[in-house]
Chains A and B, each alone.
Chain A
Amino acid sequence: MALLELRNVSKIYHLGGEEIRALDDISLDIEGGEFCSIIGPSGSGKSTLMHILGCLDSPSLGSIRLDGIEVARASQRELAHVRNRKIGFVFQFFNLLPKLNVVQNVELPMIYAGIGGSERRQRALKALEMVELTNRLKNRPSQLSGGQQQRVAIARALVNDPKIIFADEPTGNLDTHTGEIILALFRQLSQEGRTVILVTHNPEIAAVTPRRIEIRNGKIADRVDERLAGLDRLAAGQPATLPEAN
């Protein structure tokens, strides 16, 4: 059984009597431990797909099984619980709480998981060790660089030991070099056996992942657009590693 199973998932919005299918009958399996990217131009529905996969939103039709649990019809409370225990998010704009310091930000998901103070501190430190940020524990996010902030966000995503990590344009707000470091971190997480899903419109980033899912007009494209997926570079003899700085 796959970690994520989507069957005939649709998301339908009604705008002024007009029906808009942001996602149209999508079926998809993602296995545990997979490193894949969801690509597509803006407006294609990839963000909607990520929201639904990440249990931030519910589909209008279809079923989703995450780790064997049906979440398509789950209540808001159950979704919050799933997000807390099984999913880690990394966002383009880092989304750290500005009033909390680094450790407190990383501890946040554990507060809602009901984990006690000393264990919380311990696990937060361990996660920060993984992203090599143990020297900035008491700093506020505003005192950190973009790359450091994103590493804090990754530590926060990791801290509840989730099944899946979603990264929504994780390098979108970073310079290329920093972006590379962040991507390397994701690849490392993948090699450690975690399921990592990158959502991006950037082919150079999509090229890092072995599997690419392209969304076009709310459907999974039959054939991956090679340019969009960065595969033209592969064909040109370039390895599908980190994109070059240019």
Chain B
Amino acid sequence: MSVVNAIIVGFKEIWTHKFRSALTMLGIILGVSSLVAKSAMVQGMENGLKSALVALGGLQKIRVEAQSVPIEQRHMRDFARGLTLNDVRSLIEGAPEVELVSPEMRFDTSYPTLAANGKTHRTFMTAGCWPVQAQMMEHVIGHGRMFNEIDDEEARDVVVIGTGIRDELFGKPEDGGSEIIPIGRQMTVNGHPLTIIGMFEHYESETDRKTRELREAELARQRESGTLTLTNKTGTRRDRGWSGSSRGGGFAYWIKNNTVYMPLNTMWKLKSGLSNAPAEPRLSNMEIRIRDVDHFDLALTQIRNIMMVNHRGIEDFSFRTQEDWAEQIQTSVKSARLSGGLIAAISLFVGGIGIMNIMLASISERIREIGIRKAVGAGAFDVFIQILVESVVIAVAGGLLGLLASRGVIWIITTATPTDNDPVITWGAMLFAFSFSVLVGLAAGLVPALKAARMNVIQALRYD
């Protein structure tokens, strides 16, 4: 008997027992769909985390932070000069693996006060830096311009802000009904007046963007139909704090949106209180972008060597990389994948047991049929294939339906527990789940098929 024939016979057999087959398939359907759904959720989570990592410069970014002299070098602390522009220049010239370096200078108080428009706000993301910083931190100018080398050289009183700062000082687009672009307006940083010359784009995750667009569309419709009601309640405003979820990497976008950049020399001027301070400025830290992630260790060694020479062996600096974060992403994705995959695999396994159970019942119901088939010339192999094909057909049909059902499962999960990350169904996951279901069908059919193939013809023929 050809395999095509066996498949046709298998389908007929399943069709004659529609309800029974459907119940059997259900196990596989649930197993496959939960496997695909789980993988889609994890994939979505991974994508969200990775895009957050990229939003902050990715793995290519190394941060050098000023640090107090370690205990064993305390006797030399008078020689410690801290991070200086000299370090920046020698890194640019001396380390071939380094692509970009930007110095950063912050206020000694970690939360400088910003004020404008009669409102105040404190954010730790206020820094003086070089124009190249915008490029390194993956910032995109939305309105106005980034300050340039001349602004820095002349220590002009200019500032570039993120939309988060605009929201706090000038109001959110949702509140006012239209977006406020505060280019050219004044704000103060720790009391020093600065002119806003640029504002970055609004950064947000995919899901946030979609929700915002939906809300805007809704507002626009209301405005058109004239039914717009002001939802702003009167009375004291209440800030309910940062509401992002830590899993989605929303934190990364929040940080970017709350950035305040001014030219390095402007910052130095503000800090020292002089219009033209003579000594070399002390940096809080440096942002470095390396050329190639694959040469990460080499780049780190180069940076370290140059720094050690500059600082005469005094380790008044430390490195911070995104490796830990990347690793954390890997581990959490791995563990989510493992736990989810295990549970889905167990449910597929249970589905397989269901198939085996039904196939065993089916062959003991058909002992006589098997006897007849053997009497008219079916070999053990023919019978074996027939039973195996039936089992695989159930599994394959269940697998295909499961792939369809996975969309439903994802819909249920995302409706019940909304996440920052859109689930992503990958072809790989579908292929894996499907082939796993076929494998389960094969394994489940093996024992019943062997049993049927080994049946004695005479006994089978006599069986009632």
Q: Interface of chain B, helix or strand or loop or mixed?
A: helix
Give the residues in chain A near B378, CB-CB below 8 Å. 80, 84, 112
Q: Cβ of B177 < 8 Å from any Cβ of A?
A: no
Q: Cβ of B458 < 8 Å from any Cβ of A?
A: yes
Give the residues in chain B near A99, CB-CB below 8 Å. 12-13, 16
**Nearest CB of B to A236, in Å:** 37
Encode contact with A along B1-37: 1 for CB under 8 Å, 0 otherwise.
1100100000011001000000000000000000000
CB < 8 Å neighbour of A81 from B12, B372, B377: B377
Q: Cβ of A89 < 8 Å from any Cβ of B?
A: yes
Give the residues in chain B near A112, CB-CB below 8 Å. 1, 373, 376-379, 382
**Contact A56 to B375, CB < 8 A, known contacts A95-B461, A112-B382:** yes
**Nearest CB of A to B460, in Å:** 10
Give the residues in chain B near A80, CB-CB below 8 Å. 374, 377-380, 382
Encode contact with B along A63-100: 1 for CB under 8 Å, 0 otherwise.
00000000000001100110111000101000111010
CA distance A111 to B382 in the complex (A): 10
Give the residues in chain B near A111, CB-CB below 8 Å. 1, 5
Closest Cβ neighbor of A77 among chain B residues: B379
Q: Cβ of B457 < 8 Å from any Cβ of A?
A: yes
Q: Cβ of B369 < 8 Å from any Cβ of A?
A: yes
Name the interface residues of A91-122: CB closer than 8 Å to any CB of B.
91, 95-97, 99, 108-109, 111-114
| CB pair B373 A77 closer than 8 Å | no
| CB pair A85 B377 closer than 8 Å | yes
CA distance A113 to B373 in the complex (A): 12
**Nearest CB of A to B2, in Å:** 7
Q: Cβ of A225 < 8 Å from any Cβ of B?
A: no
**Count of residues in B whose CB is under 8 Å from the partner chain:** 23
**Nearest CB of B to A233, in Å:** 32
CB < 8 Å neighbour of B381 from A56, A57, A77: A77
Give the residues in chain B near A211, CB-CB below 8 Å. none
**Nearest CB of A to B292, in Å:** 62
| CB pair B461 A84 closer than 8 Å | no
| CB pair B380 A77 closer than 8 Å | yes
CA distance A64 to B375 in the complex (A): 19
Closest Cβ neighbor of B453 among chain A residues: A76
CA distance A96 to B16 in the complex (A): 17
CA distance A89 to B5 in the complex (A): 23
| CB pair A83 B375 closer than 8 Å | yes
| CB pair B372 A97 closer than 8 Å | yes
CA distance A112 to B380 in the complex (A): 11
| CB pair A113 B377 closer than 8 Å | yes
CA distance A95 to B12 in the complex (A): 20
Which residues from chain B sit less than 8 Å from chain A, CB to CB? 1-2, 5, 12-13, 16, 368-369, 371-382, 457-458, 461
Closest 9 CB pairs of A and B: A84-B377, A80-B379, A109-B376, A112-B377, A95-B372, A83-B377, A112-B378, A56-B457, A77-B379
Q: Other CB < 8 Å A-B pairs besides A56-B458, A83-B377, A95-B375, 11 of them?
A: A56-B375, A56-B457, A77-B379, A80-B374, A80-B379, A81-B379, A91-B461, A108-B372, A109-B376, A112-B377, A112-B378
Between A and B, 11 residue pairs with Cβ closer than 8 Å are A56-B457, A57-B458, A80-B382, A83-B374, A84-B376, A84-B378, A108-B372, A109-B376, A112-B373, A113-B377, A160-B377
